[in-house]
């Protein structure tokens, strides 16, 4: 009984296996045929890609370097007299103007010195006037031979002594007035003050090393950045011809332009450890975007190439034989075109050889292409794109195409 049951199960499994085998043998040719049809249909439609037309424009040739913002002037303001600091009139971090009052020292001791010097001058002036009267009288008596000539000579030298005393007194007055001027501590130039170093009430002296406050000039300001030594003579030649070379300062991520200025000069020595030379640029810094000791990316404009062929940087591919682009021909096929790559700028790159303005190049989907591949441009027409680009090139001036 049990053997008969096992045989029935084996017969049932064999029937199922034969049925499934017949089904898959019948279906495989149809599935393969449908797969081939879908592949041929996809191939006939082409690979969807993004494209852009090469255009003409002006391209700048730049030298770049990581620079440091350096103030043109930084001064530690110190006292020129000894005295008690009575007032501090600035706020920390404040922008001050040249001649603006920053602090004041107690002027009373120097006012007393001025009064004493003025009193001494008045006394000596009176003695001088009396000596001159006597000298005039002695001159008359000498002429009459009434007194000895030596007495007249003595009186003459006494007048000279009082004249010297009067000059000394005038000098003392001027010195006292100068000391009073030093009681008012003013800003030597326009700039930003730092943190307060001395509080009111302290006795300050000329021998103090810390000073009262540090002032840094912010407008204009300089940027010092290194450039490879191979570019020195090219830049020097332009400076000798009186050309003003533009320098832009960007943030550390090179996304935001902070300020624009010009190249001032070049250092007189090459750093042997890095093979670079320091360039110094002056920037107006009108919005105070540059801060002393800040790191910025400096970009020096050396040359502008006019009417260069420009394509998006994503169009340029690199292979074992060099750089190339995929050019879309009129029959909607992609052709490999070797090109000479020039200067990159703002997401674009100039093409020095191998491509003409108006030709369509693939900028998206190039990894799925090969020589002669069919392409599909969604919502684009090759002929209209080329005509539109040619019309724009004919209408636009070189400055518009930069």
Q: Rounded CA gap, 52 and 366, in Å?
A: 13
Are 289 and 351 members of one domain?
no
Q: Point out the least confidently predicted range of 29-38, 155-164, 197-206, 326-335.
A: 29-38
The answer to whether residue 333 scores a pLDDT higher than 60 is yes
Q: Domain ends where: 216, 234, 258?
A: 216
Identify the band that residue 387 occupies on the pLDDT scale cut at 50, 70 and 90: very low
The percentage of the chain sitting over the pLDDT mark of 70, rounded to a whole number, equals 83
Q: Based on the structure, what is the number of domains in the chain?
A: 4
Mean pLDDT over 276-296 rounds to 94
Instruction: Look at residue 10 and tell me if it is in a domain.
Output: no
Identify the band that residue 391 occupies on the pLDDT scale cut at 50, 70 and 90: very low
Are 229 and 178 members of one domain?
no
pLDDT given for residue 393 in this prediction: 45
> What is the per-residue pLDDT across 232-248, written as a single tens digit (0 to 9) for each?
998 999 999 989 999 99
Q: Domain ends where: 246, 275, 304?
A: 304
Q: Are 359 and 53 in contact (CB under 8 A)?
A: yes
Instruction: Look at residue 272 and tell me if it is in a domain.
Output: yes
Domain of residue 233 covers 63-72+219-304
The answer to whether residue 18 scores a pLDDT higher than 80 is no
Nearest residue to 213 via CA among 197, 199, 190, 192: 197
**Alpha carbon 381 to its chain's center:** 44
CATH of the domain at 332: 2.40.420.20
> What is the per-residue pLDDT across 340-374, written as a single tens digit (0 to 9) for each?
988 787 788 889 888 988 899 999 988 888 888 89
Q: Which residues pair with 325 in a beta bridge?
A: 337
pLDDT given for residue 24 in this prediction: 56
> What is the per-residue pLDDT across 58-94, written as a single tens digit (0 to 9) for each?
888 889 999 999 999 999 999 999 999 999 999 999 9
Are 252 and 324 members of one domain?
no
Q: Are 52 and 315 in contact (CB under 8 A)?
A: yes
CATH of the domain at 254: 2.40.30.170
Instruction: Look at residue 29 and tell me if it is in a domain.
Output: no
The answer to whether residue 211 scores a pLDDT higher than 90 is yes
Nearest residue to 72 via CA among 250, 281, 348: 281
pLDDT given for residue 25 in this prediction: 56
pLDDT given for residue 348 in this prediction: 87
Are 316 and 382 members of one domain?
yes
Q: Rounded CA gap, 88 and 196, in Å?
A: 9
> What is the per-residue pLDDT across 91-136, written as a single tens digit (0 to 9) for each?
999 999 999 999 999 999 999 999 999 999 999 999 999 999 989 9
CATH of the domain at 88: 2.40.50.100
pLDDT given for residue 118 in this prediction: 95
Instruction: Look at residue 114 and tell me if it is in a domain.
Output: yes
**DSSP E strand stretches across 354-392:** 360-364, 375-376
Q: How many CB atoms lie within 10 A of CB 368?
A: 12
Please provide the average confidence, as pLDDT, over all residues in the chain.
85
pLDDT given for residue 379 in this prediction: 61
Are 233 and 299 members of one domain?
yes
Instruction: Kindly state the DSSP code that residue 229 receives in the 8-state scheme.
Output: G
Q: Rounded CA gap, 180 and 241, in Å?
A: 51
Are 241 and 286 members of one domain?
yes
Whole-model pTM: value is 0.67
Are 384 and 318 members of one domain?
yes
Instruction: Kindly state the DSSP code that residue 244 receives in the 8-state scheme.
Output: -
Are 198 and 89 members of one domain?
yes
Instruction: Look at residue 2 and tell me if it is in a domain.
Output: no
Q: Which residues pair with 303 in a beta bridge?
A: 61
Q: Point out the least confidently predicted range of 40-44, 165-169, 352-356.
A: 40-44
Are 167 and 244 members of one domain?
no
Q: Point out the least confidently predicted range of 249-263, 267-281, 341-355.
A: 341-355
Higher pLDDT residue, 273 or 19? 273
Q: Are 176 and 110 in contact (CB under 8 A)?
A: yes
The answer to whether residue 380 scores a pLDDT higher than 80 is no
Q: Domain ends where: 281, 304, 327?
A: 304
Q: Rounded CA gap, 184 and 24, in Å?
A: 105
The answer to whether residue 201 scores a pLDDT higher than 90 is yes
pLDDT given for residue 23 in this prediction: 58
pLDDT given for residue 395 in this prediction: 40
DSSP of 56-68:
EEEEEEEEEEEEE
**DSSP E strand stretches across 17-82:** 47-48, 50-53, 55-70, 74-77
The answer to whether residue 191 scores a pLDDT higher than 60 is yes
Mean pLDDT over 373-393 rounds to 59
Instruction: Look at residue 38 and tell me if it is in a domain.
Output: no
Distance in angstroms between the alpha carbons of the first and the last residue of the chain:
96
pLDDT given for residue 59 in this prediction: 86
Instruction: Look at residue 100 and tell me if it is in a domain.
Output: yes
Pairing relation of β-strands 375-376 and 47-48? parallel
Mean pLDDT over 28-54 rounds to 62
Q: Residues with Cβ < 8 Å from 388, sequence gap 6 or more?
A: 53
Instruction: Look at residue 137 and tell me if it is in a domain.
Output: yes
Q: Residue with structure tokens 């990581």? A: 66
The 3-state DSSP class for residue 334 equals strand
The 3-state DSSP class for residue 138 equals helix
């Amino acid at each position: 009984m049990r053997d008969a049951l096992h045989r029935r199960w084996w017969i049932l499994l064999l029937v199922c296996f034969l049925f499934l085998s017949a089904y898959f043998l019948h279906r495989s040719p149809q599935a393969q045929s449908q797969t081939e049809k879908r592949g041929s249909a996809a191939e006939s439609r082409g690979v969807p890609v993004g494209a852009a037309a090469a255009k003409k424009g002006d391209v700048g040739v730049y030298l770049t370097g990581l620079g440091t913002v350096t103030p043109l002037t930084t001064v530690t303001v110190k006292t020129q007299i000894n005295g008690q600091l009575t007032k501090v009139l600035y706020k920390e971090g404040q922008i001050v103007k040249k001649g603006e009052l920053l602090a004041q020292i107690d002027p009373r001791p120097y006012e007393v010195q001025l009064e004493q010097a003025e009193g001494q001058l008045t006394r000596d002036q009176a003695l001088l006037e009396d000596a001159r009267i006597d000298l005039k009288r002695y001159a008359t008596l000498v002429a009459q031979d009434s007194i000895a000539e030596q007495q007249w000579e003595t009186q003459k030298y006494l007048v000279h002594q009082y004249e010297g005393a009067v000059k000394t007194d005038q000098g003392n007055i001027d010195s006292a007035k100068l000391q009073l001027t030093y009681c008012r501590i003013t800003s030597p130039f326009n700039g930003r003050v730092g943190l307060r170093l001395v509080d009111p009430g302290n006795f300050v002296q000329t021998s103090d090393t810390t000073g009262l406050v540090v002032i840094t000039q912010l407008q204009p300001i300089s940027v010092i950045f290194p450039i490879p030594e191979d570019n020195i003579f090219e830049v020097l030649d332009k400076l000798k011809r009186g050309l003003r070379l533009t320098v832009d300062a960007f943030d550390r991520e090179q996304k935001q332009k902070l300020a624009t200025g010009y190249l001032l000069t070049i250092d007189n020595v090459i750093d042997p450890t890095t093979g670079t030379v320091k360039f110094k640029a002056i920037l107006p810094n009108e919005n105070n975007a540059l801060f002393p000791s800040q790191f910025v990316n400096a970009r020096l404009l050396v040359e502008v190439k006019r009417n260069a062929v420009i394509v998006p940087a994503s169009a340029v591919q690199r292979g074992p034989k060099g750089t190339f682009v995929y050019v879309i021909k009129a029959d909607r096929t992609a052709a490999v075109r070797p090109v000479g790559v020039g200067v990159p700028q703002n997401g674009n790159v100039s093409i020095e050889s191998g491509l003409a303005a108006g030709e369509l190049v693939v900028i998206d989907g190039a990894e799925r292409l090969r020589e002669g591949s069919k392409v599909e441009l969604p919502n684009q027409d090759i002929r209209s794109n080329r005509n539109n680009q040619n019309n724009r090139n004919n209408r636009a001036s070189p400055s518009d195409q930069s």
